[in-house]
Amino acid sequence: MEITNNLNQDLHKAPDWFKQAIKQNYERKETAIENKKLVYQTLGDSTEDVVIVLIHGTGAHKDWWSPLGSLLKGNHYLIVPDLPGMGESDFHDAYSFPLFQKAIEHILEIESCSHKKIVLIGHSLGGHIAGYMVSERKGFYMGMVMIDTPIRPPSYDYTSHKASIPIRKIKYYEDKLAILNRFRLMPPQDCQNDWYLRYIAEYSIKETSDGWRWRFDDTIFHSLNRLHGYEFDFTCPSLFIAGGKSLLLDSRIMQYMQEAFKSSMDFEVIDNAAHHVLLDQPLLLMDVINGKLKQWMIHKTS
């Protein structure tokens, strides 16, 4: 794809469903936690009894989900946050899973969702956050979907673990085109849907007095207190969706997860997708999620 300053021009090869989806009228909102700005967007009728929260991955932002939110079927209210330190939300001095939980549950509280049926859907880090939240508050959430989120045994030795994310300091670029042309997926992978990449790249950058930079706080990659030794323990209906070509999920991880969570979690593999399933197979991903949500809603009301 030839990158220009005109997003609409660059998306001319995108399929019609994508062009229509990004025209959805999300409502951008701001609140704060720990005196730091927290940005999120919503879509739909806030009086609906079902609430779906879409949680992005490390270094990403709410607009990774924007083209897909309107593809969720059924009557619901949609909430899509920028996690602390990412997207338009402010940077923090330190990052942790309790902080991410606090941010999302603060949004749920101010949106008057605490008494509703809440489903968490998270990709990568977002899946870990969802799993942590449903483990910490059993009975509060109606369901959870993890997308290509590797859960390792609590006894896993992280001393020899190689991270798949960058820890280099943020660089500044002299112009917008220079930084857009440096946009890459982490972990590295090919993606045929370059129109989706162009879209999320547009909202991954910001201009500062020092030049153009990525929106995320680069300290997250090495300062986030990971869930080493944490034992996920959730009882709500759950779905795990794996990318068949993912570099993060080997057979040992999948075998552990299928055994550890066999009583509460279903497993689906999307063969022609790597780690970034949202970008590789967006329509198939949403078909799988919609099918499971429909099943959960029927069971919940029966």
Please, which pLDDT band fits residue 161 given cuts at 50, 70 and 90?
low
Give me the pLDDT at residue 226, please: 74
Q: What fold does the segment set 26-162+228-301 form as a domain? A: Rossmann fold (3.40.50)
- The token pair at 260 is 């550890």
- pTM of the predicted structure, to 2 decimals: 0.95
Q: What's residue 221's pLDDT?
A: 83
Structure tokens at 5: 């300053």
Is the pLDDT reported for residue 180 higher than 80? Answer: yes
Dist CA 43 CA 78 (whole Å): 5
Q: Where are the domains of the chain?
A: 26-162+228-301
pLDDT digits (tens, 9 = 90+) for 18-36: 999 999 999 999 999 999 9
